[in-house]
Amino acid sequence: MCGILPAMTSSLSVLQSVFGYPAFRPLQESIVEQVVSGGDALVLMPTGGGKSLCYQVPSLVRPGCGIVISPLIALMQDQVNALRELGVRAAYLNSTLAPDDAAAVEAALLRGELDLLYIAPERLVQSRMLRLLEQSLIALFAIDEAHCVSQWGHDFRADYLQLSLLHERFPQVPRIALTATADTRTREEIVIRLDLAQAEHYIAGFDRPNIRYRIALKQSPKQQLLRFLKNEHPRDAGIVYCLSRNKVEETALALQQAGYDALPYHAGLPAALRSSHQARFLRDEAVIMVATIAFGMGIDKPDVRFVAHLDLPKTIEAYYQETGRAGRDGLPADAWMVYGLQDVLKLRQMMDQSEGSEEHKRAEQQRLNAMLGLCEITTCRRQALLRYFGDSLTQPCGNCDTCLEPVPTWDGTEAARMALSAVYRTGQRFGVNHLIDVLRGAENDRIFQYDHHVLPTFGIGKALDNNQWRSVFRQLVARGYLRADLDHFGALRLEDQCRPLLRGEESLELRRDLARPATRQHTRQRLPDDIDTELWEALRECRRGLAEAQGIPPYIIFHDKTLQEMCAELPRTITAFGGLSGVGERKRDKYGEDFLQVIQRHLQRGDT
């Protein structure tokens, strides 16, 4: 803070004057207190929970520079820009920096002229860097994305394992580790590997109430996606996840042809193209990123209005992390997914094929089963999600598809027994399509070739059509009664679990898939009703102009929430403007007049 803050400035006044927020969120306050007083902290908070302030405020309050370790090089610049906008003396050190610039940052650190310094982990652990840190005054170490130490997770970074040395080399400096990954195993690993036995744990609720979860049956995925975009997000930023690079390319193209500003992102694209696409996504207001999971860790863009999945993620952890990138700003957002029989078969097979011990495979299967369970569930999805993370919600949420449109179920016991018996009678060697032919009594070459027309199951299932049978098979596989055999191209085999069902000792309630996906629209007003859209657009225009002039994303100037406050409060003086949430002193002075003028003009127009 330009060196003017007395060492003991209170955290609250930093929050108000620098960040422009009136109060800490409940957990933030205790975390900040703990770190300011020199203690270690382990922070588990969902995306959008407000983790950054937990180390940014203490870095400003404590003497010296806060060191933030983050694997997300692409994001550092953005974060540093945002801090500089607030008047914080922030910088970063990573491989994208020219040697001269890096030297300048190091010199600034030594002279005590930095409040916050972001460093990539591989750089931090170099002995040169460590020596430099030893010669500097360090306020704290913040280890962001701390789940990267977990060898089980998909974001594992070997460099993170070395971060335990911070404790040995800098025993007096408080450390704060942060992650949005919730499961207990990862948490335990973080504590062990980062040597955080002394740390206080802070675990926030994992609910993201502003995200609406929907999982629909996959029929014609591209059409379904286009319909979703047209009806609900015609001009919004969002992410569409696909499993393969090919599908990313195809989908991006289809969206472009439909008039959307869509860009592909996957590990097969040249690095330069990837980062330019990422920059476009951050900078513009309505870019759709079509991506593999290579995209997104730590995407800080607050106004991602939807995350769509065209393929099923392998675990609930992955699903929750990916969908969690929507709606960081707390405004309404959608997590939308389509899934079908092929997804289940494909993933089950991939897991069978995967490397690793039997134990590892079993663990993977269990996690996939939980994901499938979430897809097939007929009760509140949010309750199920939170339960999975050991959190709870006493009432159904009212903001997921199963709450909004209760799923009809039917007694599928008889159908399931027919299906299982068809699998058994045909020798557990055939895939779904053939099995359905058997059940429906189709008279084709393959049926005759194998003499399947003489089976007792032949034609016993004419009462259900093709789609209904696919639905039955999908649910049987999803629930673990059947599995797809990798050696025989998706041939279905019986699992032990199906015995009681076959013997008539168990009944089975199945989802009734609707022939057509629900057409009822839940279009929501993104803006509160009483907001004047004309003023809103004028303010956005003003923000866009200011952002473009400086080459930064609009949200770095003000978040949508702050613009909404301007519409609601209609401030007429600079003091009133400074009182809005999200307006700190520096932004008040830098931008106040511009926005006040827009408001003024708007009010005058209303008068005449």
Strand partners, 492: 484
Judged by CB, which is closer to ligand ADP: 50, or 153?
A: 50
| Residue 400 makes contact with Zn ion by CB under 5 A | yes
| Total of chain residues touching ligand ADP, rule CB under 6 A | 17
| Residue 49 makes contact with ligand ADP by CB under 6 A | yes
Q: How far is the CB of 4 from ligand ADP (least distance, A)?
A: 23
Q: With contact defined as beta carbons under 8 Å apart, do 391 and 204 qualify?
A: no
Instruction: Classify residue 443 as exposed, middle or buried by CB count within 10 Å of its CB (0-12, 13-18, 19+).
Output: exposed
| Total of chain residues touching Zn ion, rule CB under 5 A | 6
Q: Which does 382 bind (CB under 5 to 8 A by kind): ligand ADP, Zn ion, none?
A: Zn ion
| Residue 228 makes contact with ligand ADP by CB under 6 A | no
Which token pair is 314? 């392998």
What's the rounded Cα separation, in Å, for the pair 375 and 362?
20
Please list every residue from 319 through 358 that binds ligand ADP, using CB under 6 A: 328-329
Residue found by looking up tokens 């030594």 in the block = 110
| Residue 11 makes contact with ligand ADP by CB under 6 A | no
Which x/- pattern, by CB under 5 A, does the window 540-559 give for Zn ion? --------------------
What's the rounded Cα separation, in Å, for the pair 197 and 186?
14
Judged by CB, which is closer to ligand ADP: 187, or 559?
A: 559
DSSP characters for 317-372? HHHHHHHTTS-TTSS-EEEEEEE-HHHHHHHHHHHHH--S-HHHHHHHHHHHHHHH
| Residue 51 makes contact with ligand ADP by CB under 6 A | yes
Q: Which does 380 bind (CB under 5 to 8 A by kind): ligand ADP, Zn ion, none?
A: Zn ion
Q: Which does 403 bind (CB under 5 to 8 A by kind): ligand ADP, Zn ion, none?
A: Zn ion
Q: With contact defined as beta carbons under 8 Å apart, do 524 and 551 qualify?
A: no
| Residue 58 makes contact with ligand ADP by CB under 6 A | no
Among 71, 302, 327, 584, interactor with ligand ADP by CB under 6 A: 302
Judged by CB, which is closer to ligand ADP: 206, or 473?
A: 206
Phi/psi for 517 (5° steps) reads -60, 150
Closest CA to 179 of 334, 332, 15, 54: 54
Among 25, 84, 522, 544, interactor with ligand ADP by CB under 6 A: 25
Q: For 498-558, what is the HEC assignment?
A: HHHHHCCCCCCEEECCCCCCCCCCCCCCCCCCCCCHHHHHHHHHHHHHHHHHHCCCHHHHC
What's the rounded Cα separation, in Å, for the pair 517 and 298?
32
Judged by CB, which is closer to ligand ADP: 24, or 577?
A: 24
Q: Which helix (H) or strand (E) holds 36?
A: helix 26-36
Q: How far is the CB of 231 from Zn ion (least distance, A)?
A: 20
| Residue 147 makes contact with ligand ADP by CB under 6 A | no
What's the rounded Cα separation, in Å, for the pair 174 and 392?
32
Helix, coil or strand: residue 400? strand
Among 380, 482, 484, 535, interactor with Zn ion by CB under 5 A: 380
Judged by CB, which is closer to ligand ADP: 153, or 302?
A: 302
Judged by CB, which is closer to ligand ADP: 28, or 94?
A: 28
| Residue 211 makes contact with Zn ion by CB under 5 A | no
Q: How far is the CB of 158 from ligand ADP (least distance, A)?
A: 24
| Residue 202 makes contact with ligand ADP by CB under 6 A | no
Q: What does the chain come to in residues?
A: 608
| Residue 53 makes contact with ligand ADP by CB under 6 A | yes
| Residue 50 makes contact with ligand ADP by CB under 6 A | yes
Q: Which does 287 bind (CB under 5 to 8 A by kind): Zn ion, ligand ADP, none?
A: none
Among 173, 403, 484, 539, interactor with Zn ion by CB under 5 A: 403
Please list every residue from 423 through 452 that binds ligand ADP, using CB under 6 A: none
Pairing of strands 90-93, 116-119: parallel
Ordered strands of the 306-309 beta sheet = 211-217, 333-339, 306-309, 238-241, 288-291, 262-265
Q: Using CB under 6 A as the criterion, which residues of the chain lie in contact with ligand ADP when the complex forms?
A: 21, 24-25, 28, 45, 47-53, 302, 328-329, 559, 581
